[in-house]
Homo-oligomer: A and B are copies of this chain.
Amino acid sequence: MAFTSDIEIARAAKKRPIGEIGAKLGIGADDLVPYGHDKAKIGQPFIDSLADRPNGKLILVTAVNPTPAGEGKTTTTVGLGDGLSAIGKKAAICIREASLGPCFGMKGGAAGGGYAQVVPMEDMNLHFTGDFHAITSAHNLLSAMIDNHIYWGNELGIDTRRVTWRRVMDMNDRALRQITTSLGGVANGFPREAGFDITVASEVMACLCLASSLADLQDRLGAIIVAYTRDRTPVYARDIKADGAMTVLLKDAMQPNLVQTLENNPAFVHGGPFANIAHGCNSVIATTTALKLADYVVTEAGFGADLGAEKFMNIKCRKAGLAPDCVVLVATVRAMKMNGGVKKADLGAENVDAVQAGCANLGRHLENLRGFGVPVVVAINHFAGDTEAEIAAVQDFIAGQGAEAILCKHWANGSDGTRDLAAKVVATIEAGGADFAPLYPDEMGLADKIDTICRRIYRADGAQMDSKIRAQLKQWEDQGHGHLPVCMAKTQYSFSTDPEARGAPTGFTIPVREVRLSAGAGFVVAICGEIMTMPGLPRVPSAEAIGLNDAGDIEGLF
């Protein structure tokens, strides 16, 4: 059988008009705002009209620590959504939007893979419905208004050395990481150090993804700290009077996007905050809207369960008043092997011992997730080279933990490959075991929250914070930010801060290098390692090979 690429499968998709997809969820044509024939936003008045409806069941798809072998978290999210539909359930999936910039560095990311994809894939990797462009505009309007305020007399007394609000661009452009602005004399302002991040790293993105309404969005935008005065008093976006205009720029972007899977099931694709300095989940408004329209909503969170699921539970669910009914923890035989010490080049050979050793990683995630009071089903995302003995090793391990690991073949077979998983998830939810609680209460001190995550989730011997960082956290508590949850920024490859320490490492501490207050988004970021907020392009960027062919199709993007 000839290999069929993701893009070939996506292009061969028999898409239905987006109105039909909306109709599956009971959304009328007038309540959809079309963007082309295969994308739409869901109109705000319709969303507002849903408030009194009951919620469907919420399923989080998360995964073991990512390895270069690939885990297929989004693929499994799509596959499970299709599987639920295939067994007769009214289901929808909620995933994040892709960032445009990185597609021109490495090859663009599909939304899912194989026969478990969301389409239109090309649009979703390019401008889509313009949400990220709107976020870029809103962010940079605030930046321009800050420098303009300084230019016209600086009434607020901003210390130009302490402007914390940078600019953003949805592009991999390392030259913009650190710049000096306002050069060239009197007419251009006051020279100062500045820089650009990539748009997904914008706090505006995090605000949009956590906001429950446009009014809430404006409140969050207004609460963003943009600078400090010489006496360290924070200056907020609302002091700059930018929050109203930013909200206007985000009015359309706030409405969730509806597209479809290859099997013509509804997919909400909305928001895409960084999974390190932000919480890495799709928008609250998309998830809450989907829960009003479908009986089962499948969503995902960035990176492995130590980062993604932890933030989903402690930030998104806490803030939005959501409680997941079931967690699907994705593992692959290949990832277990790598966690068990096998190198990527040696993944082709059967190695049951390594699989068994690597299951320590899976087991720890399982235990962590259960700690949130939510039942867990393990999904083994099947790869063609997996042997029966290897698969059995994972299943045996999970059975030993009192859970079940379901083999899934959605990449090859679409919903036919996830019917078992879907049935197991439904049975688990119907058994009603969920009793969700976040890991720590709002009232816990900020340093303790960080320490709790490090000990309870990463299994570290604690967080390492010097006195300066502790003093900063204390100051924020004194300023009224102590109730905020914590957003950890740490390598996704390990429970520890050493990306090479796969499996289930112990005997380490987590050094916190820096803390940042995202007062608009509503969390404190604890940075534990190098965080790159503006990527660069590789020596040969994929952009060089991207173009339109004679048929008008895009070449080289995937």
* Inter-chain contact B552/A44, CB cutoff 8 Å: yes
* Inter-chain contact A145/B537, CB cutoff 8 Å: yes
What copy number does this chain have within its complex?
2
* Inter-chain contact B180/A174, CB cutoff 8 Å: no
A182 to B34, CA, bound (A): 41
Give the bracket for the number of chain A residues in contact with chain B. Answer: 35 or more
Instruction: Give the chain B neighbours of A174 by CB distance below 8 A.
Output: 147-148, 151, 182, 187-189
Q: How far is the CB of A259 from chain B (nearest CB, A)?
A: 15
A531 located at the interface, meaning its Cβ lies under 8 Å from any Cβ of chain B in the complex? no
* Inter-chain contact A218/B548, CB cutoff 8 Å: yes
* Inter-chain contact A137/B147, CB cutoff 8 Å: no
Q: Which A87-136 residues sit within 8 Å CB-CB of chain B? A: 100, 104, 126-127, 130, 133-134, 136
Instruction: Give the chain B neighbours of A126 by CB distance below 8 A.
Output: 248-249
Instruction: Give the chain B neighbours of A152 by CB distance below 8 A.
Output: 539
* Inter-chain contact B181/A248, CB cutoff 8 Å: no
Instruction: Give the chain B neighbours of A140 by CB distance below 8 A.
Output: 169, 171, 173
Q: How far is the CB of A458 from chain B (nearest CB, A)?
A: 28
A555 to B151, CA, bound (A): 26
A35 located at the interface, meaning its Cβ lies under 8 Å from any Cβ of chain B in the complex? yes
A147 to B188, CA, bound (A): 24
Q: Which A225-283 residues sit within 8 Å CB-CB of chain B? A: 241-245, 247-249, 251-252
Instruction: Give the chain B neighbours of A170 by CB distance below 8 A.
Output: 137
A552 to B43, CA, bound (A): 12
Instruction: Give the chain B neighbours of A241 by CB distance below 8 A.
Output: 543-544
Instruction: Give the chain B neighbours of A548 by CB distance below 8 A.
Output: 214, 218, 244, 247-248, 251
Instruction: Give the chain B neighbours of A34 by CB distance below 8 A.
Output: 34-37
Name which residue of chain B comes closest to A30, CB basis.
Answer: B37
* Inter-chain contact B147/A173, CB cutoff 8 Å: yes
A399 located at the interface, meaning its Cβ lies under 8 Å from any Cβ of chain B in the complex? no
A547 to B251, CA, bound (A): 10
Instruction: Give the chain B neighbours of A288 by CB distance below 8 A.
Output: none
* Inter-chain contact B552/A214, CB cutoff 8 Å: yes
Q: Which A178-225 residues sit within 8 Å CB-CB of chain B? A: 178-184, 187-189, 193-194, 214, 218
Name which residue of chain B comes closest to A547, CB basis.
Answer: B244
A547 to B246, CA, bound (A): 8
A541 located at the interface, meaning its Cβ lies under 8 Å from any Cβ of chain B in the complex? yes
A363 located at the interface, meaning its Cβ lies under 8 Å from any Cβ of chain B in the complex? no
Instruction: Give the chain B neighbours of A180 by CB distance below 8 A.
Output: 179-180, 183
Residue with the greatest number of chain B CB neighbours at <10 A, chosen from A148, A169, A172, A545: A148
Instruction: Give the chain B neighbours of A167 by CB distance below 8 A.
Output: 176
Would you mind naming 6 contact pairs between A and B with Cβ atoms under 8 Å apart?
Answer: A127-B134, A174-B188, A179-B182, A187-B536, A241-B544, A251-B548
